[in-house]
Structure 1
């Protein structure tokens, strides 16, 4: 049996991992579900543990009594804490039509029940479903005492129209269970060098790569950037496939400031600590955690931040557990420096 988690979390919030970080290890069948949990504990990458329901649980959202009991036993055995269950909206699951509000409510309800059964206090939902769906589900959330929030993921920010629509609905509902899940990919200062290197490995034209990087830096939303990029490459007679491949960068990361999160800080229910790679000092090379984490500490956030390594999308033969360990080490350094506490 592995020893329970003993690693101290930074003051102000708690650390944890999402199993999404270990996608390569999971898909390559190097680790099963319980193996991943055991390894997270062994490497002291908790105490929080986040799952994506449809990715990690066979038959989700149907969760058997035996599976729920086994999961709780694993949490106790390894000294981990269920932090957040990520669920799906899947509004376009049927070809040619979108779910109605009633259908979406019915689709979300068993996922909420699964979270309650497994002991998750927080759910990450998606903006794909109208906010009315979540408001309709508020009685179920209240029954179980579960907080919920959509992920504010690049290219969105707290002032983006979709987020503002939810903020307005939240103000009317006035429930402490309704919130948001910031993703720090909204606060990138640049695209990861490893991501750009991957574009070059695909033999995309260098002039198009540089043009896309120029457009990415502009202070506009992703839709505008895609149109602007298309406008600029049109005279070049570029291969549409190349243009499409490069336009993806406008959605995976976006420029933003740490200060912007103050707008929704009281409603932050969970955090995705997105990261890709590190510089020679052990700091995330594209996202300024030195600025972001103090804002959350000073803002009074006391929930979990899941270390979410997304480099697995294009990096192979990299130990995701080591990457998460680096991310959490940086988080501890930043908060220790900010608070004057020993790291």
Structure 2
């Protein structure tokens, strides 16, 4: 079976982001073209998301030769460019933040690169104020490209930065401006493998348990960091340990699948965040059996990039195998939900 024969989830399309293969890339086991070829060989498309600054030397400058070669690779392997991840880098200059004009100018060549490479969607970042996105709309219209910031934990659809964008979008009412949900906002637990990694770092068990207790509270990440610090203060904990454990409040956050419902019409791409699986092939910290039906029933028909983030703390694990498990899970869930064969 070739990449473009891979069965797709009903209602929306599957794909991979090269971010999942960070270890394979950093350890130089695969080059850029080899990663693309392996994604196709293992039927992990048809969508392919890349990260501009980490995947393309000299980005956002893209040569004619590179653009032509990339398009040839897509055709050769039966893959489809799904999303190009770009950066806001508002604090690029030490000690100062970019002005709106500077931020707009910083985004322009990245959007031009997406157009040159044939990407229909751009994943942007909330670090840039909503006004930047609005100012870029004429350029997006010129190229017919959709753009949206990633709603990543600890944010959710109703967080202040997201609401600021939603309010700005309502004024221009453009189908090219939207959002990129990251399913790490819908966790019900932290991965056991992540907790095991904390123990390997010899962090005190009582502090780990205290941090997990705070993580489950229905509050935002800033509140949780302060609450955790308040609770550990009498324990005279090592500040380095407190800092290391506080990271958990940002990588995943508790959330219900239903919170995405009203945002789905503005979703331009999806990051299917995942970490690990149980013996039955279910993700151990994110309830995909609840999330995917919400997006299917909401009418989302774009791509979901399988985004394995276990590479942050897991070594010796084949990321391609992990992505394959994630896509198999997605097909099973949608097939069961729709009553059709996977």
Deviations 1:169-217 (A, max 9, x none): 0000110000000000000000000000000000000000000000000
Contact 1:88–1:125 under 8 Å retained in 2: yes
Return the alpha-carbon distance in structure 2 between the equivalents of residues 254 and 99 of structure 1.
29
Contact 2:20–2:307 under 8 Å retained in 1: yes
Residue 108 of structure 1 corresponds to 107
- Structure 1 residue 280, shift from structure 2 partner: 1.0
Residue 19 of structure 1 corresponds to 18
Return the alpha-carbon distance in structure 2 between the equivalents of residues 178 and 105 of structure 1.
15
Contact 2:74–2:81 under 8 Å retained in 1: yes
Q: SS in structure 1 opposite 2:265?
A: helix
Residue 87 of structure 2 corresponds to 88
Residue 268 of structure 1 corresponds to 267
- Structure 1 residue 102, shift from structure 2 partner: 0.5
- Structure 1 residue 263, shift from structure 2 partner: 1.9
Give the CA RMSD over aligned residues.
0.7
Contact 2:122–2:147 under 8 Å retained in 1: yes
Contact 2:100–2:132 under 8 Å retained in 1: yes
Return the alpha-carbon distance in structure 2 between the equivalents of residues 160 and 134 of structure 1.
18
Residue 319 of structure 1 corresponds to 318
Return the alpha-carbon distance in structure 1 between the equivalents of residues 200 and 26 of structure 2.
23
Return the alpha-carbon distance in structure 2 between the equivalents of residues 125 and 148 of structure 1.
7
Contact 2:47–2:79 under 8 Å retained in 1: yes
Return the alpha-carbon distance in structure 1 between the equivalents of residues 54 and 245 of structure 2.
27
Does residue 172 (structure 1) correspond to residue 183 (structure 2)? The answer is: no
Contact 1:212–1:246 under 8 Å retained in 2: yes
Residue 153 of structure 2 corresponds to 154
Residue 68 of structure 2 corresponds to 69
Return the alpha-carbon distance in structure 1 between the equivalents of residues 7 and 214 of structure 2.
41
Return the alpha-carbon distance in structure 2 between the equivalents of residues 10 and 231 of structure 1.
46
Contact 1:4–1:77 under 8 Å retained in 2: no
Contact 1:19–1:36 under 8 Å retained in 2: yes
Please list every run of at least 4 consecutive aligned residues from structure 1 whose deviation after the TM superposition is greater than 4 angstroms: none
Residue 232 of structure 1 corresponds to 231
Residue 295 of structure 2 corresponds to 296
Contact 1:272–1:307 under 8 Å retained in 2: yes
- Structure 1 residue 10, shift from structure 2 partner: 1.0
Return the alpha-carbon distance in structure 1 between the equivalents of residues 242 and 98 of structure 2.
32
Does residue 339 (structure 1) correspond to residue 322 (structure 2)? The answer is: no
Return the alpha-carbon distance in structure 1 between the equivalents of residues 87 and 160 of structure 2.
21
- Structure 1 residue 8, shift from structure 2 partner: 1.3
Residue 185 of structure 2 corresponds to 186
Return the alpha-carbon distance in structure 2 between the equivalents of residues 7 and 17 of structure 1.
13
Residue 134 of structure 2 corresponds to 135
Q: SS in structure 2 opposite 1:264?
A: helix
Deviations 1:80-126 (A, max 9, x none): 00000000000001100000100000000000000000000000000
Contact 1:112–1:141 under 8 Å retained in 2: yes
Does residue 125 (structure 1) correspond to residue 116 (structure 2)? The answer is: no
Indicate the larger mover: 290-299 or 3-12: 3-12
User: What TM-score comes out, normalization by structure 1 length?
Assistant: 0.99
Does residue 286 (structure 1) correspond to residue 289 (structure 2)? The answer is: no
Return the alpha-carbon distance in structure 1 between the equivalents of residues 8 and 168 of structure 2.
34
Residue 38 of structure 1 corresponds to 37
Residue 277 of structure 1 corresponds to 276
Return the alpha-carbon distance in structure 2 between the equivalents of residues 44 and 71 of structure 1.
18
Return the alpha-carbon distance in structure 1 between the equivalents of residues 28 and 219 of structure 2.
41
Structure 1 residue runs of 5 or longer lacking an equivalent are: none
Return the alpha-carbon distance in structure 2 between the equivalents of residues 75 and 330 of structure 1.
25
- Structure 1 residue 5, shift from structure 2 partner: 2.5
User: What TM-score comes out, normalization by structure 2 length?
Assistant: 0.99
